[in-house]
Structure 1
Amino acid sequence: MTPIHDRGLAFDLATLTRRRALTLLGGAGLASLTACGTGGTLSTTGNTTTTTAAAECGDVVPEETAGPYPGDGSNGPNVLTRSGIVRGDIRTSFGTGSRTAEGVPLRIELTVLDTGSGCAPYAGAAVYLWHCDIDGRYSLYSDGLTGENYLRGVQEADSAGNLAFTSIFPAAYSGRWPHVHFEVYPSLAEATRAGTKITTTQLALPEQVCRTVYGTTGYVQSVRNLAQTSLDRDMVFRDGHDEQLADVTGDVTSGYTAALTVRV
């Protein structure tokens, strides 16, 4: 697998999202970029590099902020190097923590694709995922939760690029649309040493499902917070969320499954 930082200018241009292109190049530059990404070629230092395969994959998932509670060592605690972080069920704290997160069950399924290899499954990639609890609080950071690490975990993609987490539906807290944070790493070893990541991004949850979940016990404050924002006004998703809005199925009794294809 070619390292993400060493795929060259052609790969970078072919896999830029539309909003990244607008930011970096402006309208005129985007026209040139579009031509390059529809079967054209780009000449770099005398060599012609074909960009068709990467362009046909679709947009890469947008890079987003990790927020103030990443737990990856970039802002305080680092849970990635702790024994026990590699787990599929992230509802309960591990190590010295003891709490279990309550809420409507949510299974999060991600399929990681490598745009540098024609959108082949990114077997062996690792994802570190975290989100808030039913009260909008984050383990490791919020008052009373600095000794807990629930709703955080790492999983490795299988040969089809698939991985999954068993969790609970996160709250809507003031100022943000309901979301899940995650970082993609080139390998499990890189993730568990908090090494070089491929991308940091966020998954958004659909409005109607959120409204249904927040009508259940324990999510009272989420009803008010959800009403005060929208996907189109959210500080992260307002510039586009096509590559981040999960497909969600299920119900409040048996739980939900949120699925997202992640192109990196």
Structure 2
Amino acid sequence: MPFNPPLPDWRGKNVWLVGASSGIGQATAHALHAAGAKVFVSARNAGALAGFVQSHPGAVALALDVTDRPALKAAAQTVLAAGKLDLVMYCAGYYKELRATGFELAEMLRHSEVNYHGALYLLDAVLPALLAQQSGHISLISSVAGYTGLPKSLAYGPTKAALINLAETLYLDLKDSRIGVSLVCPGFVETPLTAQNEFTMPALITPEQAAQEILRGWRQGEFEIHFPKRFTRWMKALRLLPYGARFAAVRKITSL
């Protein structure tokens, strides 16, 4: 039995992707548009959104900063005015390496504002409408970095762990309301965020490959969509280890 109502056909569906100016968000927006969906895209980069709309007829750009709650609310009103909202996806993300030895409160708070609080603002803006229509789907992009503590992920990892817990709880709370919830946990994807990494990223994939994995997961009604599995399965196994073994394994793998 699938966790969610399968989503095999996007023709005529209204979808809103928040954080879609590049990377996984933009690639997923492209894939949904190609599948026949009416696509709304949001991000801070108005120029990138304009370029997307120009090459994707019928798409609608709603530029905003996810930390601006009123802006998210206003954009949601525009999306909801177009008809029933079939899917909303939170793709926005911020990442900067940080270790406890170089603790920066401003960076910790910036990660929280973009990666987690923005998702809460989005829920505040759309959840009443989804509950009223008794349908729709909420998808949150987290990361395997949320599975367990990792070096250099002091600011990023906890926000992604929060999204995992949020998605799990949303699923339990909304199951009887016929609203689907999915959690997307990518490994390394070639995006502007991961371009900062100075180490070799194992099992690195393209945003287009990530988008196809996401659509496959929605099509099959999955709750957690994680990829590439040749990497993410190891990460999932790692978090099952007792802390002593887990910490030793992480230090050995990362050399930190």
TM-score under structure 1 length normalisation: 0.29
Bigger proportion of residues as strand: 1
The higher radius of gyration belongs to 1
- TM-score normalised to the size of structure 2? 0.29
